[in-house]
């Protein structure tokens, strides 16, 4: 079950909310980038960044010099992941909408200092972005690890919202001679583009070639 | 030219920044959803929402009852639009990256009260999400307009960041027998799906069928 704190309880369109923790995992695990919200000098700052999940903990990382990471350390943050699945075309402007799945996580970010947890978090981050690469490429060395800050965020306080299906129009508008439906938005992987200086004879690994 | 306030001046990876206002327009005009950051009770809140642009003003809208909109009215907000173009697969974990284009806009949101500006803003929002629909479907009536809050945000203070191209590896890693390159992420429109109750004989309009 998901939390029911004031800020994770939907005030509007409650039918779009989910209380199933598995829906939260689904939204998070199928995403590539989150939007991290922090407060800097009293003002909101929203930056796109990668993330990874292990159980009920979300991991974020960045250069130890990144201002968004510095602002997040020990502070209240908000992490939002959004999948846009289509545009809902109704018979009236007002009822236009989008089909989507989104998750919002609230909590206090914790700077990870334990070496094992740091490495596990970085691995989760790497595998979220590029599954199979952690074991395939050169692992991080001591200098690289020292330059990287890892933050942890509990998934305790989170909400999930989604919309799917066709338009919901006003009763009297269904008689209008207007096309209505959904224009799906499809996200897919293109053909891998080899680095221009890649030596001949290095084949594209299966985990890249056949990424789902 | 874009602004050079402290928060729109990149501290890191300056080569990824752009100072060209046209790049800002490009990122904004090709997006469908932004992430709106507001501060609620001292904590950040990031919600995905639609937007539209007219000149150097961004328009947001929502139900007059939406908590994010209420928090944004007259307050400092941050609006971020992100396009993810691909995953950059390097020869080391550390140099993995993404190709992207993103815009961050900071400013104080203004509740739009002038009827003409409200309508223009809503039209911009509608056309951003579903071009051609404003003139094709039933326009908003008085009741619908009364239920909708429109916010304006100046594009005066904004930054644009982008990364494109292949991986940048450490000199000594180029000799490793590891595939490296870019896995592009492609977003495209699927086939329009007619509403299940659509009467026969209503053809899909060209602006939906051939949306770019």
Q: Average pLDDT for residues B207-211, to the nearest whole number? A: 95
Q: Average pLDDT for residues B2-26, to the nearest whole number? A: 85
Which residues does chain A have with pLDDT short of 50? none
Q: Tell me if chain A has a CB within 8 Å of the CB of B6.
A: no
- ipTM above threshold 0.90: yes
Minimal-distance CA residue of chain B relative to A38: B44
CB-based contact A140 B90, cutoff 8 Å: no
Question: Any alpha helices (H) in chain B, and if so which ranges?
Answer: 21-29, 67-72, 115-129, 133-136, 142-146, 206-209
How many whole angstroms separate alpha carbon A166 and alpha carbon A23? 21
pLDDT tens for residues B25-39? 999 999 999 999 999
Q: What is the DSSP string of B7-40?
A: GGS-SS-GGGEE--HHHHHHHHHT-S-EEEEEEE
* Model pLDDT, residue A71: 76
Q: Tell me if chain A has a CB within 8 Å of the CB of B168.
A: no
The fold for domain B6-209 equals: Pnp Oxidase; Chain A (2.30.110)
Domain map of chain A by residue range?
A: 6-209
Using 50, 70 and 90 to split pLDDT, how confident is the model at B112?
very high
Place of tokens 């299940």: B196
* Model pLDDT, residue B138: 98
Surface of A (105-124) touching B: CB under 8 A: 106, 122
pLDDT tens for residues B79-101? 999 999 999 999 999 999 999 99
Cα-Cα-Cα-Cα torsion A21, A24, A25, A26, nearest 10 degrees, comes to 120
Count of CB pairs separated by less than 8 Å, A with B: 293
* Model pLDDT, residue B7: 83
**Which sign, positive or negative, has the C-alpha torsion B162, B167, B169, B171?**
negative
Averaged confidence pLDDT in chain B: 94
Backbone φ and ψ for B101, nearest 5 degrees, come out as -135, 125
Using 50, 70 and 90 to split pLDDT, how confident is the model at B180?
very high
* Model pLDDT, residue B16: 85
Question: Any alpha helices (H) in A30-169, and if so which ranges?
Answer: 67-72, 115-129, 133-136, 142-146
């Amino acid at each position: 079950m998901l939390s029911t704190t004031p800020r994770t309880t939907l005030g509007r369109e409650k039918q779009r909310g989910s209380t199933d923790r598995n829906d939260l995992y689904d939204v998070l695990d199928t995403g590539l980038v989150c939007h991290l919200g922090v407060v800097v000098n009293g003002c909101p700052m929203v930056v796109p960044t990668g993330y990874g999940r292990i159980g009920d903990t979300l991991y974020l990382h960045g250069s130890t010099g990144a201002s968004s990471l510095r602002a997040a350390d020990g502070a209240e943050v908000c992490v939002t992941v959004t999948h846009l699945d289509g545009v809902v075309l109704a018979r009236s402007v007002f009822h236009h909408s989008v089909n989507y799945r989104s998750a919002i996580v609230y909590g206090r970010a914790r700077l990870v200092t334990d070496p094992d947890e740091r490495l596990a978090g970085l691995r989760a981050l790497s595998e979220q972005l590029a599954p199979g690469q952690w074991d395939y490429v050169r692992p991080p060395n001591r200098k690289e690890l020292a330059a990287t800050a890892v933050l942890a965020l509990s998934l305790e306080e989170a909400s999930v919202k989604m919309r799917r299906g066709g338009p919901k129009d006003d009763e009297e508008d269904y008689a209008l001679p207007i096309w209505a439906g959904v224009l799906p938005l499809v996200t897919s992987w293109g053909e891998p583009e080899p680095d221009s200086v890649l030596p001949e004879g290095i084949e594209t690994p299966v985990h890249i070639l056949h990424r789902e």
